[in-house]
Amino acid sequence: MTDHSTNVSEEELHAYVDGELTQERRSAVEAWLAGHPDDAALVAAWRAQADAIRARYGAVANEPVPARLQLDRLTRARRPWYAVAAAAVLVAFLAGSAAGWMARGASASAPDAVEIVTSDALQAYKLYVVEVRHPVEVPGAERDHLVTWLSKRLGYELRLPSFEQTGLKLVGGRLLPGPTGRPAAFFMFESASGKRFTIYCTRSPIAQAAMHYTESGSSAGIYWVDRNLAYVLSGPAGRDWLFMLAQKAYDQLDTRATPPG
C-alpha cells in the first residue's frame, strides 16, 4: 500500500488519523496524501470507521475492561481507544450472538466496513422503497443511460444485473453519497406483487469480503466486496431469497473483467 522508500509509513498514517503526529510530520503526511489518492482513500475510510465506532460504541471505552479481555499495558498504551472499544464489542458479539454477520473468509478489518456500508445501504433502501411517485431519479426504461451516467459519476464501469427470470423488473436508479465521501450507485427492482429490492454499490477500502447477511427490523441486506467494489443487496427480511438474488447478481457482475480505475 504505502511506499516505504519514503519517510511516510503506514504506522504514521494511522498516527495521522489518531491525531498523534507533530505539526511537522502532519504536514509531511498531508503532502504525501495529496499525491497518493489510494492512501488518501484509506485514511478517509479509517476516519469514517473511527467516527462510526465512536458514535455507536463510545460508551464501551468508559466501562471497566473484563478480566478476560485484559491486554498487557504496553499493547493497550499503543492502541487508540476506539480499537479497544471495537475489540470489546467484537468479543461480546462472538460470545453472545449467533445471528447478525455471517462472514466467511473476510479480513479482520471487514466487520467495521461491512457495518458502515451496509447501514448506509439499508437506510437508503428504507427511505426510497416506500416512495410511490419518486423512488428513483432515472427510470428503468432508460437503463443504458442510467448505467452510463452512474458509471461516469462513480469512476468505473458498472455492470447492472438482470433479475427478470426471478420476476423482478428494474424500476430505475439514483446517485447517492457514499460512506467515505465517495459516490454510490443505487438501483431498485420490483416484483409483480410490489416487493422491492435494491443494489447499492460503492468503492471499498477492503479488497475482498465474502457475503454477509444482516437484518434491520423487517428489512435485510447482503454485503460482499470484489476487487475493492462493495455491493449491498437489500430487501424484505428473508435469508434464502436474498442469498439467491445476491448469488445471481455476483455471477453477472463479474467485476474481475473490469477492475476499478
CA nearest to 230, candidates 248, 207, 247, 246: 207
What's residue 176's pLDDT? 93
The pTM is what?
A: 0.57
**Domain positions in the chain:** 10-96, 110-257
Q: How far is residue 153's CA from residue 185's CA, in Å, rounded to a whole number?
A: 9
Low-confidence ranges of the chain (pLDDT < 70): 1-7, 38, 45-46, 48-114, 180, 254-261
> How long a stretch of residues is the chain?
261
Give residue for cell 460503492: 202
pLDDT tens-place string over residues 74-125: 444 444 545 545 554 444 444 333 333 333 333 444 446 667 888 899 999 9
pLDDT at 104: 35
**Residue 57 CB contacts under 8 Å (≥ 6 apart), including other chains:** 82, 85, 86, 88, 89
- pLDDT of 208 reads 80
Can you say whether the dihedral through the CA atoms of 207, 210, 215, 218 is positive or negative? Answer: positive
pLDDT at 204: 83
1.20.120.450, 3.30.200.100, 3.30.930.10, 3.30.470.20: CATH of 110-257: 3.30.200.100
pLDDT at 48: 63
pLDDT at position 9 is: 80
- Per-residue CA distances from 56 to 59, 111, 179, 190 (Å): 8, 14, 15, 33
Give me the pLDDT at residue 260, please. 41
What is the pLDDT at residue 95? Answer: 36
